[in-house]
Structure formats: C-alpha cells, structure tokens
C-alpha cells in the first residue's frame, strides 16, 4: 500500500530555501535534463532593486550577490507589464544591447530562458528563472510542466518570505505597543541595515554567506536594539554621560533583546525557523568585541559573523548621527575610529568592507537622511 515513493518528501523537512530549490532542480533535471539553472530574484519596492536570492546551478553562478534596478531593465519591465512568463529560446536576440544581468547569463553560455514573474496577493515580489545551455528547449509540453512547478516554487518562496516578514513585524509591533515608543529612529534603522547588507555582501565569499543569508542579515539587523524597550527613558534619553550603574543597566539590552526574541519565536511556534538563529545572534551579540572585552566576553571566533557585521554597521551609524548624549561625527573621523579598533573591538574584514565602499555608504546616507527625531 505504501510502495509509491513521494519524490517531494524531502520538502517536508526543515531545510533552508536554497536546499529546497536545489532539490526541486534535481527532480526537474531527471525529467528535463536541459534545465541547467534555477534561480530567484526578489524585488524591493523601496529601492526598486531586483536582488538575487536563491540559485541552483552547477556552474559558478554569474549573478551571485548581484542586484540591479528594475527601472534599468527594459525586458524585465516588459514581463511585468504583460504579467505572464516570458520564454526566450535563443538569448542571442539580446546580443545587441543587453542589460548587464542578461549579458552575464549569456557569457555563461546559457541559450534559453524562461522567466516567471511571482505575485503575492496580487503584488509583484520577484522573478523565477529557468535557464538552459541549449537553444529551443522550451516547447509546449515542457512549458505546461514548468508553469506548474513555477507556481509551486513561488509558494515556497512566499512561505519563506512571509515567515521572515511576520517575525519582523510581530517583534517590532509588540515592542512598540508595550511602551508606545520607538527606541531608535527609522532613518537610523534604514541606514544601519543597508550598511549591514553592504558589509555582508563584501565578506560573503570569505564567510560563505549566500544571497539568502545576506538578505536575512539585512532584514533582521534593525531589531538589534529591540531590548532597549526594557530600559527606562531616564537612562535611554539621558542627555549626559551614563554613570557606571546606569551603563550596567543599559548593557542588559542585549540579553533582554534575546529573551524577547525567544519568547516571540516560542509564541509563534517558530523555534525551528531556519533563520531564527541569525535574529537571536544579532540581538544577543552585537556588542561583543574581538578581544573578549564586550558585553558577554565572547572571543573573536565565538562571535557569529552576523553579529560582527551588525556591530560595525551600528557603531558607524551611531557615531555619524546625533544622539541625546553626543554630536554627529564626520565619516572620516568615524572611519579612523573604526580602524583604530580593528582587532580589539571590531572585525578587520567588516571594517575594511565598509571603508572600501565609501561611495555606497554615502549614497545610503543621502537616501536615508535624518528625520525630525534626529
């Protein structure tokens, strides 16, 4: 009675999204051996960026950690306008003036592509691509099957993304509701999370962070100080320097943040969510120092990379912003400070990543200027 094998049974397990996509790609290849690459790009309406998210291919991927503005790709916009999958059975038709991502795909000798726009409750949120090294492979039978698989894959992505989004929204809403206040300004959070993403991308190769992990570091980094909701205004908003006792109280914000997050994960039944650990590590360990002198005394190798990244992003933005207790520093002064603390407080790669991307840092500062709260 149970002789039938459910070939998709692996999807029942606790697997991160890239593993699930790889698995589906493997099954697809059993039937359509010409499908050489499956990939997903997510759209961020705030920045108009289309960002690579997940891919499965045998080659070195041409689009790892790549993002491009949707406005810059005529063909992508056209797909969106039509609202249906686009099939190109010979990518050479783009050889005249291809967008950069299409050129990279063609450079790797992909000849055909199937591109499906993905929607969540009618809202566009990204593209799914199937690519082949062969020409003219996408016939009627194949397309019928790929449409089905495509929609199933998009449901997997929706599930993964909405878990991340609800988790973020619930932690943040609960924090705001309990104390009717935001502990940090929106502009600070936008800037520091974009700095964190920039650093994560730069160190991704060395620390084997794939696109999906980079994206989660970006999404969860604004929650680093969520534990500050447990700190009274008299300390949090004190115009002057904190006393030793006040600072000791202040330091509990990291462990308080960890507790809040664990409680939320438990209440939501999300303890097994694959990326819960990233969120927890960011809240708990964003004030660790390389030499062990941070809040919990973790040493260099014991500090998770996401916490090292967020530490640099957060401190850089704290230094270059006005605080109730300090003036804003210039970027030059902040860079010199970060460099002087490499190896004692901060991770060398993370500091170098930020400093090497000065143009992008300044673009982020331009885009997310201080609001009235300062």
Nearer Cβ to ligand C2E, position 91 or 315?
Answer: 315
Among 49, 106, 179, 242, binds ligand C2E (CB under 6 A): 242
Pick one of 31, 159, 323, 333: the residue that binds ligand C2E (CB under 6 A). Answer: 323
Q: Which does 326 bind (CB under 5 to 8 A by kind): ligand C2E, Fe ion, ligand SIN, none?
A: ligand C2E
Q: Which of residues 221-260 bind Fe ion (CB under 5 A)?
A: 225
Q: For residue 327, what are the contacts with CB-CB under 8 A and spacing of at least 6?
A: none
Distance CA 25, CA 120 (A): 22
Torsion, Cα 118 20 218 236, to 10 degrees, reads: 120
Which residue carries 């590590």 as its tokens? 281
Please count the helices (runs of H) and the strands (runs of E) in the chain: 13, 6
Which of 31, 205, 206, 326 is the binder for ligand C2E (CB under 6 A)? 326
- Are the C-beta atoms of residues 258 and 227 closer than 8 Å to each other? yes
CB of 155 to ligand SIN, least distance (A): 20
Closest distance between Fe ion and the C-beta of residue 224, in Å? 6
| Residue whose CB is less far from ligand C2E, 162 or 232 | 232
Alpha carbon 132 to chain centroid, angstroms: 27
Closest to ligand SIN by CB, 98 vs 304, is: 98
Enumerate the β-bridge partners of residue 118: 126
Tell me if 314 contacts Fe ion by CB under 5 A. yes
Sheet holding 123-132, edge to edge: 67-69, 49-57, 37-44, 123-132, 112-120, 86-88
- Shortest distance (Å) from residue 39 CB to ligand SIN: 6
How many residues belong to the site for ligand C2E (CB under 6 A)? Answer: 13
Could you say which of 32, 94, 295, 329 contacts ligand SIN (CB under 6 A)?
Answer: 94
The answer to whether the CB of 157 falls within 8 A of the CB of 208 is no
- Subset of residues 128 to 167 that bind ligand SIN, contact rule: CB under 6 A: 129, 131
CB-based contact 117:79 (threshold 8 Å): yes
Query: Taking CB under 5 A as the rule, does residue 190 contact Fe ion?
Result: no
- Closest by CA position to 39, among listed 92, 119, 114, 95: 114
Footprint of ligand SIN (CB under 6 A):
39, 63, 73-76, 94, 98-99, 101-102, 105, 113, 115, 129, 131
Footprint of ligand C2E (CB under 6 A):
238, 241-242, 250, 287, 314-315, 318-319, 323-326
Footprint of Fe ion (CB under 5 A):
225, 314
């Amino acid at each position: 009675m149970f002789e039938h094998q459910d070939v998709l049974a692996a999807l029942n397990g606790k697997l991160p999204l890239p593993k699930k996509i790889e698995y589906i790609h493997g099954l697809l290849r059993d039937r359509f051996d010409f499908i050489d690459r499956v990939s997903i790009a997510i759209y961020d309406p705030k920045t108009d960026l289309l960002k690579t998210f997940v891919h499965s291919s045998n080659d070195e991927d041409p689009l790892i950690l790549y993002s491009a503005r949707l406005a810059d790709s005529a063909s992508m916009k056209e797909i969106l306008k039509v609202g249906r999958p686009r099939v190109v059975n010979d990518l050479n038709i783009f050889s005249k003036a291809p967008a950069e991502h299409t050129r990279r795909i063609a450079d790797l000798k992909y000849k055909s592509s199937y591109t499906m726009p993905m929607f969540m409750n009618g809202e566009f949120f990204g593209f799914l691509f199937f690519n082949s090294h062969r020409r003219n492979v996408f016939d009627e039978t194949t397309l019928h099957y790929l449409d089905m698989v495509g929609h199933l894959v998009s449901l997997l992505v929706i599930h993964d993304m909405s878990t991340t989004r609800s988790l973020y929204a619930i932690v943040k809403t609960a924090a705001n509701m309990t104390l009717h206040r935001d502990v940090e300004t929106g502009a600070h959070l936008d800037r520091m999370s974009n700095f964190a993403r920039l650093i994560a991308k730069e160190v991704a190769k060395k620390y084997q962070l794939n696109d999906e992990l980079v994206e989660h570091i970006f999404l969860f980094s604004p929650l680093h100080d969520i534990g500050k909701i447990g700190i009274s205004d008299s300390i949090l908003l004190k115009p002057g320097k904190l006393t030793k006792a006040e600072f000791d109280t202040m330091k509990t914000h990291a462990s308080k943040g960890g507790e809040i997050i664990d409680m939320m994960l438990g209440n939501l039944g999300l303890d097994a969510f694959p990326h819960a650990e990233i969120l927890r590590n960011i809240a708990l360990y964003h004030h660790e120092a390389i030499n062990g002198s941070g809040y919990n005394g973790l040493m260099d190798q014991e500090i998770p990379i996401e916490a090292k990244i967020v530490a640099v992003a957060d401190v850089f933005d704290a230094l270059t912003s006005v605080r109730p207790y300090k003036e804003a520093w210039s970027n030059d002064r902040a860079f010199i400070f970060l460099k002087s603390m490499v190896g004692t407080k901060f991770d060398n790669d993370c500091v170098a990543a930020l400093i090497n991307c000065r143009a992008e840092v300044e673009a982020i500062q331009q885009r997310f200027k201080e609001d009235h709260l300062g």
